Amino acid sequence: MDGPTSVAVVVILFGAGLIVGSFLNVVIYRVPLGLSIVRPGSACPSCHTPISARDNIPVLSWLVLRGRCRHCGGRISARYPLVELATAATWAVLGWWALADWAVRAPLLPLVIVLASAGIALSMIDIDHHRLPDVIVLPLYPVTVVGLVVAGLLGSSWPWAAALEGAGVWLLLIGGLWLLSAGRGMGFGDVKVAPILGATLGWLSLGSSLVGLLAAFVLGGVVGLVLLLWRRAGRGTKIPFGPYLFLGALVGLLVGQSVWDAYVGSMGLS
């Protein structure tokens, strides 16, 4: 694609990500409470007054209102616009990633956008409630299968073997840690998410899947160490691992193959 077209794709994805991010805020709040994500409409968390359309514009409304409800002046958490911005930025980055090798990556773009969006919602829920709800995780299985089939139809290859290997490696390690620790070192929700991410990365290459898995543990370990040093957590503190699984998968998606190729080359295995 030429320059202007590429910029347009990224801008459109950023704008769409803002809208989806606004919806993810509803999912993050309501799903753990067992509430409908459709009805009723959004309302102020303090006075419960329904939020009008002009006050529900992603990011902009929060800035105009200075983070407060128009009716009662109650504070509205900065996390709402941050989730919207994070979703928009993720969609834009994924668009940039696909544009770098459009013929190969574009067929997989719809699936990775869906998984990234679900990952943002699940990560925030995991941070708040230390669980990954089945109502979000389980539908990702058929979505992933359909997404990979679509990628195969639109692309030029069907790397099912690598996808299954990636799913197996992620499931074996995450599931093994859950089993060996009797659920104390890893949640079962993490086990359910693992093969979805492993298969998607494996569709690109087994190297991408392995790097993504390693990145999840490195990121989780670094954050855990920082929390210990800052005394924000103790040795017995449970740290949700879901966010690091999704972040690791994003690393594997964006740079996994490059990192794997560099590693193989440095070992003289290429």
197: helix, strand or coil: helix
pLDDT in tens, 125-149: 999 999 999 999 999 999 999 999 9
Last residue of a domain, one of 100, 128, 153: 100
Q: Are residue 95 and residue 107 in the same domain, yes or no?
A: no
Global pTM reads: 0.93
Q: Are residue 126 and residue 200 in the same domain, yes or no?
A: yes
Q: Are residue 73 and residue 108 in the same domain, yes or no?
A: no
User: 109-113, 138-142, 182-186: lowest mean pLDDT where?
Assistant: 182-186
pLDDT in tens, 21-68: 999 999 999 999 999 998 888 888 788 888 888 888 999 999 999 899
The reported pLDDT for the residue numbered 233 is: 66
| Cβ contacts of 197 within 8 Å, gap of 6 or more | 115, 170, 212, 245, 246, 248, 249
Query: Which tokens hold the place of 70?
Result: 């128009």
Total domain count for the chain?
2
Quick one: how far is CA 219 from the chain centroid?
14
| Cβ contacts of 62 within 8 Å, gap of 6 or more | 76, 78, 80, 81
pLDDT in tens, 197-213: 999 999 999 999 999 99
Q: Is pLDDT at 176 greater than 80 in this prediction?
A: yes
The reported pLDDT for the residue numbered 236 is: 65
Mean pLDDT of the chain: 92
The reported pLDDT for the residue numbered 270 is: 58
Q: Is pLDDT at 4 greater than 80 in this prediction?
A: no
Residue range of the domain that includes 188: 103-270
| Mean pLDDT of the 156-162 span | 92
Q: Are residue 241 and residue 166 in the same domain, yes or no?
A: yes
Q: Is pLDDT at 227 greater than 90 in this prediction?
A: no
- Rounded-to-integer distance, Cα 115 and Cα 134, Å: 14
The reported pLDDT for the residue numbered 224 is: 84
The percent of residues in the chain predicted with pLDDT above 90, rounded, is 72
The reported pLDDT for the residue numbered 158 is: 94
Q: Are residue 181 and residue 81 in the same domain, yes or no?
A: no
